[in-house]
A and B are shown apart, each in its own frame.
Chain A
Amino acid sequence: MATTTAAITLTSADLLTDALSLSATNTLYKAGTTVGLDQTTGMARAFLTATTVVDIFPQLIEGSIAFENKSSWVYICNKSEDETEFFTVKICENVIGKLYAGDFLWMPWSMRESVNANNHHGDITVAPSVDTGMAIEFTCINEGTEYPTENLVTS
């Protein structure tokens, strides 16, 4: 099995009266086990030139959620260098937050179907704040991904 770790360090000498120096490291395991995650989408980098909402992991198939409640981890980073530019990140059409220039997120992802029955099966989406071009990087490290079947065209 693979061994993948995620570590975070939060530091500040002047946010609080006391110095902030928080560190956490975890090894990425399959849900409820100590078996390491062994699959990933790979790191993607996209340059988006429209403010359109984009499903960054379209391989999640509506109506077939094979990996719901399994262990999946998502990393997203706004690579813009313009401090005013941000990506709005949503899950199931619900805004999680905005990633401004240089910001990243790291979060688990259950791939659960929306409670609002809006046919958004856990989709994670991003939308750039401007259409002049913004770069984003993202990856998912997980137990498995159900890929779409062949897109057959009928005539």
Chain B
Amino acid sequence: MATTTATITLSSSDLLSDELALSTTATLTTAGTSTGVTQASGLSRKTTSAASAAAIQANVLYRAGDYTANGANKVYIKNTSVIASEFYTVTIDQEEIGRLYAGDWMFTPWNATSGTKQVFTVTIAGDWLAGETWTFDGITATSADATEANFAALIHTLNYPNWTTTYGGSGVAVVFTARYASDATEVVYATADATLVTTDGTAVISAAAVGSASESDITIRPSVHTAMTYETMLIHQ
């Protein structure tokens, strides 16, 4: 196992009458154990900018659904700006934590509480012919023959930008699961987005279930549209 330590030092000789000299070291372990965490995003660095102040967008740093919920995850974020008035606003699930002004950094645990992902099942039935297609999420599956199970298997092998698939290894049903948790409306989107080009085949969508929004995605929003740079690292289990 890896041994990773985080040490914080707070110091001041004139904030109080007494000197402030706090130093704490934590060894980063997985939740409820003494086993060291073994995974990290690596330290990343990104410059944000926008065409105008009105075009400033928040950046999603970490999506809860990608990490272990309730894990002993730790997030480090630093604003590398040198202009005192520039800041990043850090939020978790829309709740503002605080502002990182020039040179500021933060180090917090992160619960990574995700929502639920919406799912639906598509069932390949009817009479599909070679060359007929089913398009979803911008990806087109083209049937190689007239066997519906083969077509379902082929649909499962494709890479969808916003969905993952599950296939039982036989049969005609493929289960689609959204890559990210979100709430409402997308089941309607999924149903409407699937396009068939076939004479007698069907691809009925069923068992659709809405998801719920993530509860702890971490986002940051720059205060200015001119270039600002942040650094971040996630150490997680």
Contacts and interface: CB of A to CB of B under 8 A. Distances in A.
Interface of A: 2-16, 20, 22, 24, 26-27, 29, 31-34, 37-38, 40, 42-43, 69, 71-72, 75, 77, 83-84, 86, 88-89, 91-92, 94-100, 102-110, 112, 114-116, 122, 141
B3 A115 contact: no
Contacts of B20: 4
A106 to B, nearest CB: 5
Contact of A32 (B33, B70, B85, B111): B85
Q: Using C-beta atoms within 8 Å of the partner chain, give the interface range for chain B.
A: 35 or more
A89 B107 CA distance: 13
Interface string B1-32: 01111111111111110001010111101011
Given A94-B93, A94-B216, A108 B108 contact: no
Interface string B84-124: 11010110111111111101111111110100000000000
B26 A94 contact: no
Contacts of B95: 91-92, 94, 112, 114-116
Interface of B: 2-16, 20, 22, 24-27, 29, 31-34, 36-38, 40, 42-43, 70, 72-74, 76, 78, 84-85, 87, 89-90, 92-101, 103-111, 113, 215-216, 233, 235
Nearest to B96: A112
Contacts of A103: 26, 72, 109
B119 to A, nearest CB: 25
A66 B178 CA distance: 43
A96 B92 CA distance: 7
Given A22-B43, A77-B24, A102-B27, A10 B12 contact: no
Contacts of B96: 110, 112, 115, 122
A70 B107 CA distance: 19
Contacts of B9: 5-9
12 contacts: A3-B12, A6-B9, A10-B5, A10-B233, A31-B101, A75-B10, A83-B32, A89-B108, A96-B109, A96-B216, A97-B111, A107-B90
